[in-house]
Amino acid sequence: MNDKLERDIMYVKGVGPKRAEAFARVGVTNVYDLLSYCPRDYIDLTSVSDIRDTRVGELNPVTIRARVVKKLPPARIRKGMTIYHIIFTDDTEDITVTLFNQEYLYAGLKDGEYYALYGRVTGNMVRREMSSPNIFVANTPDLIIPVYSLTEGLSQNIIRKAVKSAIELVTQEVEDVMPRYVRDSVRLCSQAYAWENVHFPKSMYGVQEARRRLTFDELFVYSLAIAYQRDDENMRSGYIMNRVDCDELIDSLPFTLTAAQRRALDECTSGMCGTTRMNRLIQGDVGSGKTVVAAGAAWFAYKNGYQSCVMAPTEILAVQHYETFRTLLEPLGVRVGLLTGSLAPKAKSEMQKKIAHGEYDIVVGTHALFSQKTEFSRLALVITDEQHRFGVDQRAALAAKGKNPHCIVMSATPIPRTLALILYGSLSVSVIDELPGGRKPIKTYAVSGKMRTRALGFVKKQLELNHQGYIVCPAIDESENELASVEKYAHELQEGIFSDYRVGLLHGRLSSDEKAKAMSDFKNGRIDLLVATTVVEVGVDVPNATIMLVENADRFGLSQLHQLRGRVGRGEDESFCVLVTENTSPECVARLKTMSRTNDGFKIAEEDLKLRGPGDFFGTQQHGLPPFKIADLSRDMDILEMAQGLSNRIIDEDPKLELKENAVLRELVHRLLEKGTEIS
């Protein structure tokens, strides 16, 4: 990097040791950091309101441009508190500005001179007021005023001045930090323009352009650091497979794969033929048919003479996958085994012996698979379902059972591809963005508790058509109390409106045998209506189930409701979901209406994000996202994608960034890594 940029912040005019300390607290230690310290907001003085048009009590601040008519004498209301009133006008109306103890500001205001005032309009019928607005000389050339995040010892003014000196110091002579070829390939504005416009903008357009460039710089260095850190050893494939024609499998399936499924399967099989270990996320909305793609990949490994294992988060799902894999693959000669925690000790050790001897080609199971005693003879592919239920360490433990086996994780959680990369480091993503043909959207209705009887009648209509249904009751902590009430509810339904049908019960506190029995009874049609807590949330597949009624639907997040709802609509018949809520507040109704409007999991996640705020979805705690300074991932996804694409290409060609033109990149990456930012 140019040494002017690397200079300590103290080289900047007006920054001494004290201020340098304050700057360090916001991560600014040299000139480059200072210039990259973006305002968190802007006051746009280019859109000015007439005072007459402003609304008293309006929550949003406005900007007005007005001249001083009269400065009233200061009023000392008590010790240490002086109030100043100034009357302004813009010739459409007057406004009274109140300042508290800001003598300096008051003294500086000149009669007849124009100022821009930015603040909330308060007052009453006869008088408009503004309390402690931001005040700028209105003939100032800066019509857009940056607002920085502050810390003790820093004010807006101190930062503005420091940035100004820094810009004067460098932009004239300093070349853009990024290598020419990087700049050419991304086509963003120059660094000099970005710095100038992010700190001293002339238009909001300039701000946007500048922000995009600085966002790119931040995300690019971050992505580069992820790619740079790839561990070669860990990346090498232990099992380079040979191409095998998949027609035998595809022809044997009871349905035609969708184009998206074929593509995902292709990506999986090619991945396993490469020299680097495959680490792939198969992402697809509920019902998109991820399981068969995984089965295809396992079959491919089998044809290459290898074992695969399939991990499910719950016993119910393990059993279900076991059955699916058997149905699909046993006719082709594949030996599928089931290993779960509920096996008796003897049966379990038998099973483990067989696995170790290679008597199974595919082993489906739950956590029991992790137990130290389970050894595989030639495990080359590890498939995990619904990965968000597993800890990273659990997956790693299983992966360690093979010699760098290939990994596939299946998930319906709509994390955009680019975010997945940030979360999981070097992970390839296959997206199944298409539902199997003939699948109809699930008709969804939100109703209030008053309509429950009618809603239950509607459920009964579906059962009369020989379909099956779910009634889901939220049991947040599955405490005895809550479960008792679910049991009671199930009992009432059985004795009452559904007396002609078989009502089953499924909740988290049942023994695994009981759970498995309830599930298989439902699958085999021995139960018509399954009353369940959220244990049915993930993955359960019963195509004949066409109706789901969710009690207290407002207790669920939208994405969770979407997952739940995905349990129906899996067959040819039209399916329904009824959301019952006692909460009729407008927000709640609006939220649940989203569910009736769309069946697209990504849209719903977005809506959830909008309604609940970014804290929830993009919150760094919850999703483990790194804390970016400039980038806002809820809107900068396109830039992230660009940054990732480019950094991968660069690292492919120059893994250790040793080429001369990459020296500065190496330096930026090292600086980031040294700062101790956690890189996944």
Return the number of the residue (294 or 518) whose C-beta is nearest Mg ion.
294
Choose which of 213, 367, 570, 591 interacts with ligand ADP (CB under 6 A): 570
**Which token pair is 203?**
């238009």
> Binds 277, which of Mg ion, ligand ADP, none (CB < 5 to 8 A, cut-off by type)?
none
Return the number of the residue (19 or 523) whose C-beta is nearest ligand ADP.
523
Return the number of the residue (51 or 540) whose C-beta is nearest ligand ADP.
540
CA 608 to CA 618: how far, in whole Å?
11
Question: What's at 95, amino acid-wise?
Answer: I
| 562: contact with ligand ADP by CB under 6 A | no
| Burial class (CB within 10 angstroms; exposed 0-12, middle 13-18, buried 19+) of 17 | exposed
**Which token pair is 578?**
């009824």
* Helix/strand/coil (H/E/C) assignment for every residue in 204-248: HHHHHHHHHHHHHHHHHHHHHHHHHCCCHHHHECCCCCCCCCCHH
Return the number of the residue (474 or 539) whose C-beta is nearest ligand ADP.
539
HSE toward the beta carbon, residue 286, CA cutoff 13 A: 29
- Report, in Å, the least distance between residue 476 CB and Mg ion: 24
> Binds 581, which of Mg ion, ligand ADP, none (CB < 5 to 8 A, cut-off by type)?
none
- Report helix, strand or coil for 114: strand
Report how many residues bind ligand ADP under the rule CB under 6 A.
Answer: 19
Q: Report the candidate in 537, 605, 533, 531 with the shortest Cα–Cα distance to residue 568.
A: 537
Return the number of the residue (207 or 519) whose C-beta is nearest ligand ADP.
519
Choose which of 54, 191, 197, 261 interacts with ligand ADP (CB under 6 A): 261
Residue of minimal CB distance from ligand ADP? 289
- Report helix, strand or coil for 189: coil
> Binds 543, which of Mg ion, ligand ADP, none (CB < 5 to 8 A, cut-off by type)?
ligand ADP
Return the number of the residue (36 or 599) whose C-beta is nearest Mg ion.
599
**Which token pair is 622?**
């919850």
CA 626 to CA 609: how far, in whole Å?
18
- Report, in Å, the least distance between residue 288 CB and ligand ADP: 4
User: At 513, which helix (H) or strand (E)?
Assistant: helix 512-523
In Å, what is the CA distance from 529 to each residue of 335, 446, 544, 561, 628?
34, 20, 11, 19, 48
Return the number of the residue (167 or 310) whose C-beta is nearest Mg ion.
310
- Report, in Å, the least distance between residue 376 CB and ligand ADP: 24
- Report, in Å, the least distance between residue 313 CB and Mg ion: 10
- Report, in Å, the least distance between residue 511 CB and Mg ion: 24
Distance, C-alpha 214 to centroid of its chain: 22
> Binds 288, which of ligand ADP, Mg ion, none (CB < 5 to 8 A, cut-off by type)?
ligand ADP
Q: How many residues does the chain have?
A: 680
Choose which of 19, 213, 277, 290 interacts with ligand ADP (CB under 6 A): 290
| 258: contact with ligand ADP by CB under 6 A | yes
Report H helices in 259-367.
259-273, 290-303, 315-329, 345-356
HSE toward the beta carbon, residue 619, CA cutoff 13 A: 8
Distance, C-alpha 249 to centroid of its chain: 35
Return the number of the residue (292 or 631) whose C-beta is nearest ligand ADP.
292
| 533: contact with ligand ADP by CB under 6 A | no
| 537: contact with ligand ADP by CB under 6 A | no
Q: Report the candidate in 218, 203, 171 with the shortest Cα–Cα distance to residue 190.
A: 171
Binding segment toward ligand ADP, per CB under 6 A, in 28-36, 164-172, 279-287, 363-371: 279-287
> Binds 289, which of ligand ADP, Mg ion, none (CB < 5 to 8 A, cut-off by type)?
ligand ADP
| 289: contact with ligand ADP by CB under 6 A | yes
Instruction: Identify the DSSP state of 141.
Output: S
**Which stretches of the chain bind Mg ion, using CB under 5 A?**
539
> Binds 269, which of Mg ion, ligand ADP, none (CB < 5 to 8 A, cut-off by type)?
none
Q: Which stretches of the chain bind ligand ADP, using CB under 6 A? A: 255-258, 261, 284, 286-292, 412, 436, 539, 541, 543, 570
